[in-house]
Chains A and B, each alone.
Chain A
């Protein structure tokens, strides 16, 4: 279980998070939605301590990771897989080497075992036969798939997805959503998805939370979220410029 308690974060004079409280249920997918620039990625980067809060707690199985030292933080990060917005593949390596990278760096597996595992993950994301290519030779959708393969190769307990479908056409976006749902069922990880691709993202989510004006305005099971009477939720779902969400 991940629990975020009263999380505050500012960059200079800009207050991005103003007291976020949220729980992520183990083994389920929770999606955080919200307008562009509202702080979703900032919140996501706090979950594996890529950013540290000004105030507040992030509890993972009861341990407040904001109080850990560097070595303990690295151990905690080993439990996470992350799919970054632009996939963040290391562009000097092939897709195979990218996916193999965390195994080579962080495990004692030999090359035969690594090859078996990497080939398996590459096949699971539908990139079989592409392992020899470099990231620059792949389309945006393929890069996201490769990023997902890398995020899953260490069998993480928690996987963070930062805008996994941004910049993709609706068909590719749907295929990435299906891939996330399928891999979550296969591996049973706790998924945290940051997205503003609605309503498609509701179909893969067990829970949905909306971040607006620096706080979580609503967090509910996916089917209840759509029917919420909360004016913030309704403004976001309908895409209205007038309403409680401040549009810059």
Chain B
């Protein structure tokens, strides 16, 4: 019995110390981001890797998500003779929920996993030690620019996802299923308020932070071997997905 409680206690302590390390990692990344010299060139480079390089997958997934919403929304609303509200339903779902969450999932899969693998490989091949030995803080050089870039790129990607999704739903609803174009946009205009756009923006910024934070932490602290890198990559993606959904619940409950 004593052994059982000992194991629980030891597990709890390990988890708490891991959480402490994760938070300290984020704090040091933020603190170093504001310490000169600014790494503007690196921030621009990571804006490209996180933002521009994720654009195609965000466009594609946004478009198909919108088209599915067009079909599903039309099918559900027709039961209540409310097809004209399709624009409103699609816009609200995308702006408040689907846009930020699905764009975050796409960025996690496209860029977050690559971040974890890249930093893990740098750890395994002593490149991170090399930075320390050259008196260059690896968190400032490798992590802070990625976090700043993701805070900028994620809301933009989410906005693109939303617009393309609304267009996809329009194509299906108006172009294929015969909903009137005027009622599609009028419904959207009547029901979408600033708070809906703002909540999507807040979610996208916080999801960007979660993804970069988790993926950089996992990669940065990967055990220096091939299996360590692969495990860090898997863990970073799974943990990012879970944390995005959990944080989404809390934000939704606060901002609804």
Contacts and interface: CB of A to CB of B under 8 A. Distances in A.
Interface of A: 45, 48, 50, 74-75, 77-78, 80, 82, 84-86, 88-91, 101-102, 105-106, 154, 160
Interface stretch (B87-95, B134-142, B168-176, B192-200): B134-142
B125 A88 contact: yes
Q: Which 6 A-B pairs give the minimum distances between C-beta atoms?
A: A88-B130, A88-B126, A77-B135, A82-B133, A78-B135, A74-B135
Contact of B134 (A45, A85, A101): A101
Contacts, number: 48
B129 interface: yes
A86 B134 contact: no
Interface of B: 122, 125-127, 129-130, 132-137, 141
24 contacts: A48-B133, A75-B135, A77-B132, A77-B133, A77-B134, A77-B135, A78-B135, A82-B130, A82-B134, A84-B130, A86-B125, A86-B126, A88-B125, A88-B126, A88-B127, A88-B129, A90-B127, A101-B134, A102-B134, A102-B136, A105-B136, A106-B134, A106-B135, A160-B133
Contacts of A74: 135, 137
Contacts of B130: 82, 84, 88-90
B37 to A, nearest CB: 9
A107 B133 CA distance: 15
A154 B122 CA distance: 22
Nearest to A105: B136
A149 B135 CA distance: 17
A77 B136 CA distance: 9
B177 to A, nearest CB: 49
Q: Which of B122, B127, B135, B137 has the most CB of A within 10 A?
A: B135
A45 B137 CA distance: 16
Contacts of B125: 86, 88, 91
Contacts of B129: 45, 50, 84, 88
Given A85-B126, A88-B125, 20 more contacts: A50-B129, A50-B132, A74-B137, A75-B135, A77-B132, A77-B134, A77-B135, A80-B133, A82-B133, A84-B129, A84-B133, A86-B126, A88-B126, A88-B129, A88-B130, A101-B134, A102-B135, A105-B134, A106-B134, A154-B134
A158 to B, nearest CB: 11
Contacts of B135: 74-75, 77-78, 102, 106
B163 to A, nearest CB: 33
Given A50-B132, A77-B132, A84 B137 contact: no
A58 to B, nearest CB: 15
A76 to B, nearest CB: 8
Nearest to B121: A91
A105 B142 CA distance: 13
A74 B135 CA distance: 5
Contacts of A75: 135
B31 to A, nearest CB: 11
B33 to A, nearest CB: 16
Contacts of A154: 134
Contacts of A48: 133
A106 B136 contact: yes
Contacts of A78: 135
A127 to B, nearest CB: 18
A66 to B, nearest CB: 15
A101 B41 CA distance: 14
Contacts of A84: 126, 129-130, 133
A48 B129 CA distance: 11
Contacts of A105: 134, 136, 141
Q: Which of B132, B134, B136, B137 has the most CB of A within 10 A?
A: B134
A106 B133 CA distance: 12
Contacts of B126: 84-86, 88
Nearest to A79: B135
Contacts of A85: 126
Nearest to B137: A74
Q: Which of B122, B126, B133 has the most CB of A within 10 A?
A: B133
Contacts of A77: 132-135
Nearest to B126: A88
A80 B129 CA distance: 13
A69 to B, nearest CB: 13
